[in-house]
Amino acid sequence: MHAQLLSERSRVFDHADPYAVSGYVNQHVGNHCILMPKAGRPLASLDHRKFASLDLCRISYGASVRVTSGALDSIYHLQVLLRGNCLARGRGQEHYFAPGELLLINPDEPVDLTYSDDCEKFILKVPTRLFESVCDEQRWQYPGQGVRFLENRYQLDELEGFVSLLAMICQEAEATEQIPRVQEHYAQIIVSKMLSLMKTNVIRGGLNSPTFEVIADYIAHHLKHDIDSEELARQARMSLRSLYGLFERNAGTSPQNYIRQKKLERINQCLSDPTCNVRNVTEVAMDYGFLHLGRFSDSYRKQFGELPSDTLKRRH
């Protein structure tokens, strides 16, 4: 890989105690623990820059080291291997990363990495709120459980233009004149690129106009998702108050009641249709987000005049 990802102008530690470097990383990049060999005196180095809400880091420990951490909580780690190799354990698998490969770590994933003694990495730390902001800006549906990268490793040469973009933000981070608005713009671009190039649970495409028909169609296609009023207002680019007014005029009820009614109607159709594969009421109720079965049965009975189990029995 020929791109320059940080230079000595960003140097914080050079030929330093690895535990001092680890302490700095804990403060700025993410909490972790390191396990070093007992023999020898390895020398670590670290380059670091803040860039808008991102952290850019280039690190080598100078010895074989095992790095472990619990879930990253509210951050994503994108790690590019520059030299050596790195054994990653996770998702029930092991993989040796080689130079030119990229590792993506979701906020809920524990970290277990073993660096070779000649390993050097570039790490990009991205806060979860930036993904939410970009989804909002692009009018993509932000998942209720947050953005999740479905694959955790990539070849850099398969990600069109991504290495050049990383090199560009590193160059901007090291520029003599720091322009916050330019940095924020680049941070948004890099997250947009990640969401476009890599496999995630984000539904790209949202509501194009705030009409009731468009919103109703959107709800109909996402009934198995956890849609709340705030998310619906955000997708429709209108205030919560305007959304409630729209539903009151067109449906005579609140958005949440409307969504519940449509979920119940879909369940009723499924329970009534002999061709719909339903093993039991509990399964179909949970598919549509009804976790409290007693309240679900009561709501169903009020809307259809019978219990869901009775509807299922009648179709046989």
What is the model's pLDDT at position 74? 93
DSSP structural state of residue 157 = G
- List helix spans (H) across 106-161: 128-138
Which pairs count as long-range contacts for 187-192, CB under 8 Å and 24+ apart, including other chains?
Answer: 187/51, 187/52, 187/53, 187/54, 187/130, 188/130, 188/133, 188/134, 188/137, 189/165, 190/54, 190/124, 190/126, 190/165, 190/166, 191/126, 191/130, 191/131, 191/134, 192/134, 192/138
Which pairs count as long-range contacts for 189-194, CB under 8 Å and 24+ apart, including other chains?
Answer: 189/165, 190/54, 190/124, 190/126, 190/165, 190/166, 191/126, 191/130, 191/131, 191/134, 192/134, 192/138, 193/161, 193/162, 193/165, 194/78, 194/126
**Separation of alpha carbons 57 and 124, rounded Å:** 6
DSSP structural state of residue 200 = B
Residue type, 214: V
Q: Is 117 exposed, middle or buried (0-12, 13-18, 19+ CB in 10 A)?
A: middle
The token duo for 126 is 């991205």
From 31, 195, 35, select the one nearest 114 (Cα to Cα): 35
| Beta bridge partner(s), residue 67 | 34, 113
DSSP structural state of residue 11 = E
pTM greater than 0.85: no
* Tokens 């070093």 belong to residue: 36
Task: Delimit the domains of the chain by residue range.
Answer: 8-197, 212-314
Q: How many CA atoms lie within 13 A of 82 on its CB side?
A: 17
Q: By the 8 A CB rule, do 81 and 100 touch?
A: yes
β-bridge pairing 33-35 and 65-69: antiparallel
For 212-314, CATH gives 1.10.10.60
pLDDT per residue rounded down to tens, the chain (316 residues): 567 899 999 999 999 999 999 999 999 999 999 999 888 889 999 999 999 999 999 999 999 999 999 888 899 999 999 999 999 998 778 999 999 999 999 998 999 999 999 999 999 999 999 999 888 777 777 787 889 999 999 999 889 889 999 999 999 999 999 899 999 999 999 999 999 899 998 876 555 556 788 888 888 888 888 888 888 888 777 889 989 999 999 999 999 999 999 999 999 988 888 877 777 888 888 888 888 889 999 999 999 999 999 988 887 6
What is the model's pLDDT at position 131? 94
* Tokens 């030299």 belong to residue: 83
Q: By the 8 A CB rule, do 42 and 16 touch?
A: no
Q: What DSSP string runs through 45-71?
A: EEEEEEETTEEEEEEE-SS-EEEEES-
The token duo for 228 is 């709340």
CATH, domain 8-197, list 3.40.50.300, 3.40.50.12780, 2.40.50.100, 2.60.120.280: 2.60.120.280
* Tokens 């496999």 belong to residue: 199
The token duo for 146 is 């947050």
